Amino acid sequence: MLSLLWLIPTLPMLSSLLLMLGAGRFTRHTSALLGVGSVGLSALIAFAIALSFDTTTVYQHTLWQWFSVGALTPNIAFYLDGLSLVMMLVVTGVGFLIHLYASGYMYNDPDYSRFFASMNLFLAAMLILVLADNLVLLYLGWEGVGLCSYLLIGFWYKDPANGQAARKAFVMTRVGDTAMAIGLFLLFRELGTLNIAELMTAASTRWPEGSPTATLAALLLLGGAVGKSAQLPLQSWLPDAMAGPTPVSALIHAATMVTAGVYLIARHHALFLLSPLAMDSVALVGLITLLIAGFSALVQTDIKRILAYSTMSQIGYMFLALGVGAWSAAIFHLVIHALFKALLFLSAGSIILALQHKQEISEMGGLSRHMPFIFGCFLIGSACLAALPFTSGYFSKEPILIQAWLQSPMLWFGGLLGALITALYSFRLIFVVFFGPLHTEPSGLKLPAVVALRMPLALSILALLSLLGGFLDLPLATVLPTTSGHPPLLIEAINTLVPLFGVLACYSLYHRNPALRQRLIQLPGSQALRRFWLNGWGADHLYDLLFRRPFLWMARINQADIADSLSRGITQLSRYSHLLLVEVQSGQIRWYASIMAIGVAFFIGLGVLT
């Protein structure tokens, strides 16, 4: 079974290639069969491998040697251990459900096969990323993910705003990618290999703890991770990435792309463990991002943007977990988050579809009676997101907070505050969208019955998994260092009660007692704060001022290429002197004669005088 591992990324890749070459000539049915089927097959193989794979071992499979120059000899080779197994299952499993859903959601889009071509390529790139046995191949997947996110965010290319969002995502993540590439150059220069396993062994044997080179390398990799995972300071592309179709958002937020950074750091934990500074940076980046994203999510009015900020915030929890050394907890939260975030996005997609592509939550309301199934799904997703007791989100977030407490009460308090905010914004969404008066009448979908069924099917499976996900036992013990230690019972009790308090507060503000909310809104400065949070803490403005405008300015003033002025100057000079000399050629004898006389007189004078 293990020998089929290479098929897992290859199948979606092939299907993507076929769909591209088909250039829109396939019928919807064939496109869906290829697009969804290939991913389904990959998922099946992945699960079959998971059943038979002994996670205390490692499986490597080399397809061919990519290139070999001196000591740089990366292979096209896959590496399977507990960590990549978990990632592979999430990517193929959740990816398949999103594809299944998308085959219904996108049914009426004219570019159905282009959509699946990009989606499949996205999944293939992500699978290469998590299965790569060396950093060069990982970088291939890494860049491939960036490329596909560009293709999919800008999928509806007719609106320039979508193109803008797609370019923003690509360029911002490329900034991170470039930092990561420099990290690769550094690692290769210092350790002479880019094979991940060899690299980690070499790093831990050759570098002492706290070595500045290790810190630099780890920070450069962190640069790559914050780009792809939308963490501070490269976070602001994610909310705009909502320009793509909703299943794309689900894919970016749940199964692919944003989890890549978390995986990268977990994969290189041996390197990060060498550098306390790098670890602290990871934790701090996570903490700050989870808070600012949480506050932003509180005031957003677009359902997808709320979810986007919540992703940013939840990835922040994963970074916090990585930074405090709770490696398995980070990956566990990644898995659980993938399940409930896919559920939330796809449910939101169903709402958006039913409301004729309205995304503002002010235009929703009272949907619990009209869309009970979606309400149920959304409620499950939100409960997990808010980490209410006994949901899967509770089981995955609790270890993070505990480990944070053991590391530093400050980090714990930040995380706890984040948990409160999470509960607030997720249930604000529930109360505004599903309760209160009905603003827009949901309409039925114009889809063939078989196709329309795929969406609730995917949602039900995701809802079930989100409910039961807490009981999963991930085979990470052999790959990632384990943590131990118990906090006081009081801390655990607080961790459990805070989200409940958040939900109650929300209930009172948005359902029971709206007058209280009005009074809050009228507090001085609250509007300014709201706008500040709404715009993501002004990150866009800041980057606009610091980078975009200077770049545009440089481009504009030098559009004609200043380096050309020398040759243009010479041209001008010879043209002017030409005009000057033309004047001399007047054709008049007396003019020539007088010039000659003056010249002769001048030279005689010169001869006499010297």
Partner 1 sequence: MLTLLLIVLFTGAALAWCAQYWRPHDGPRAVALMTLITALLLMLPLAANTANGAFIAALDETWLVLEQTPWIPRFGIQWLVAIDGMSLLLILLTLVLGLIAVAASWREIEQRQGFFYFNLLGCLAGVVGVFSALDLFLFFFFWEVMLIPVYFLIAIWGHEARHYAALKFFIFTQASSLLMLISILGLAYLHQQENGFYSFSYFELLGSGSRSPHHFWLMLGFFIAFMVKLPAFPFHTWLPDAHTQAPTAGSIILAGVLLKTGAYGLIRFLIPLFPDSQVSFAPWGMAIGVAGILYGAILAFAQYDLKRLIAYTSISHMGFILLGVYAWNALALQGAVMQMLTHGFSAAALFMIAGAIQHRIHTRDMRAMGGLWPQVPRMAAISLFFVMASLGIPGLGNFIAEFLVLTGSFQVSRTATVLAAGGLVGAAIYSLIMIQKVFHGQASTSHTLADFDRRELSSMTVMMLALLALGLYPQPVINLLQPVLDELLLLNTPLPMRIVGVTP
Residue 178 found at the interface with partner 1 (CB under 8 A): yes
Residue 81 found at the interface with partner 1 (CB under 8 A): no
Residue closer to partner 1 by CB (options 67, 373) is 67
Residue closer to partner 1 by CB (options 542, 596) is 542
Residue 219 found at the interface with partner 1 (CB under 8 A): no
Which of 184, 214, 312, 352 lies at the binding interface for partner 1 (CB under 8 A)? 184
Which of 101, 107, 112, 150 lies at the binding interface for partner 1 (CB under 8 A)? 150
Interaction mask 466-495, partner 1, x per CB under 8 A: ------------------------------
Which of 20, 219, 472, 494 lies at the binding interface for partner 1 (CB under 8 A)? 20
Q: Which residues pair with 69 in a beta bridge?
A: 72
Residue closer to partner 1 by CB (options 441, 564) is 564
Shortest CB 65 distance to partner 1, Å: 7
Residue closer to partner 1 by CB (options 161, 529) is 161
Residue closer to partner 1 by CB (options 569, 599) is 569
Residue 578 found at the interface with partner 1 (CB under 8 A): no
Q: Which residues pair with 302 in a beta bridge?
A: 360
Shortest CB 188 distance to partner 1, Å: 6
Give the contacts of 569 (CB within 8 A, at least 6 positions apart). none
Which of 8, 39, 75, 143 lies at the binding interface for partner 1 (CB under 8 A)? 143
Shortest CB 176 distance to partner 1, Å: 10
Tell me the window of 27-35, 180-188, 280-288, 400-408 that interacts with partner 1 (CB under 8 A): 180-188
Q: Identify how many contiguous H helices and E strands the chain contains and give both numbers.
A: 27, 2
Residue 190 found at the interface with partner 1 (CB under 8 A): yes
Shortest CB 303 distance to partner 1, Å: 26
Which of 6, 188, 507, 532 lies at the binding interface for partner 1 (CB under 8 A)? 188
Q: Contacts with partner 1: how many residues (CB under 8 A)?
A: 54
**For the range 194-197, what are the long-range contacts, defined as Cβ-Cβ under 8 Å and sequence gap of 24 or more?**
194/72, 194/74, 194/134, 194/135, 194/136, 195/74, 195/133, 195/134, 195/135, 196/79, 196/132, 196/133, 196/134, 196/135, 196/138, 196/267, 196/268, 197/58, 197/79, 197/133
Residue 136 found at the interface with partner 1 (CB under 8 A): yes
Which of 51, 160, 525, 578 lies at the binding interface for partner 1 (CB under 8 A)? 160
CB contact burial 349-362 (16+ within 10 A = b; e otherwise) = bbbbbbbeebbebe
| CA angle at 292 for the pair 168 and 273, rounded to the nearest 5° | 85
Shortest CB 147 distance to partner 1, Å: 6
Beta strands at 75-80 and 59-65: parallel, antiparallel or unpaired: antiparallel
DSSP 2: G
Residue 163 found at the interface with partner 1 (CB under 8 A): yes
Q: Give me 93's structure tokens.
A: 């499993």
Residue 69 found at the interface with partner 1 (CB under 8 A): yes
Q: Is 64 helix (H, G, I), strand (E, B) or coil?
A: strand
Residue 514 found at the interface with partner 1 (CB under 8 A): no
Residue 4 found at the interface with partner 1 (CB under 8 A): no
Element spanning 78, H or E = strand 75-80
Residue 165 found at the interface with partner 1 (CB under 8 A): no
- The residue whose two tokens read 């969208």 is 433
In 192-318 the beta strands, taken as DSSP E runs, fall at: none
Judge contact between 64 and 137, C-beta under 8 A.
no
d(CA 274, CA 441): 58
| Region class of 70: left (phi > 0), else alpha (psi between -120 and 50), else beta | left
Which of 182, 417, 494, 505 lies at the binding interface for partner 1 (CB under 8 A)? 182
Residue 115 found at the interface with partner 1 (CB under 8 A): no
Terminal-residue alpha carbon distance, the chain = 103
- CA separation, residue 198 to residues 100, 201, 203 (Å): 39, 5, 8
Give the contacts of 89 (CB within 8 A, at least 6 positions apart). 46, 47, 50
Tell me the window of 181-189, 240-248, 309-317, 514-522 that interacts with partner 1 (CB under 8 A): 181-189
Shortest CB 548 distance to partner 1, Å: 10
DSSP for 87-106?
Answer: HHHHHHHHHHHHHHHHHHHT
Residue closer to partner 1 by CB (options 160, 524) is 160
d(CA 317, CA 501): 20
Shortest CB 560 distance to partner 1, Å: 9
Which of 66, 413, 532, 543 lies at the binding interface for partner 1 (CB under 8 A)? 66
Q: How far is CA 426 from the centre of its chain?
A: 21
- CA separation, residue 271 to residues 56, 72, 100, 187 (Å): 21, 20, 39, 10
Tell me the window of 68-76, 255-263, 482-490, 518-526 that interacts with partner 1 (CB under 8 A): 68-76
Residue 139 found at the interface with partner 1 (CB under 8 A): yes
Tell me the window of 139-147, 309-317, 358-366, 378-386 that interacts with partner 1 (CB under 8 A): 139-147
- The residue whose two tokens read 């996205």 is 122
Residue 501 found at the interface with partner 1 (CB under 8 A): no
d(CA 2, CA 217): 33
Shortest CB 447 distance to partner 1, Å: 24
Interacting positions 538-567 with partner 1 (CB under 8 A): 551, 554-556, 558-559, 561, 563-564, 566-567
For CA atoms 502, 505, 511, 517, the dihedral sign is negative
Residue 185 found at the interface with partner 1 (CB under 8 A): yes
Shortest CB 38 distance to partner 1, Å: 19
Query: Which among 300, 303, 331 has a CA at the least distance from the CA of 315?
Result: 331
Give the binding site for partner 1 (CB under 8 A): 20, 23-24, 64-72, 76, 136, 139-140, 143-144, 147, 150, 154, 157-160, 163, 166-167, 170-171, 174-175, 177-178, 181-182, 184-186, 188-190, 192, 551, 554-556, 558-559, 561, 563-564, 566-567
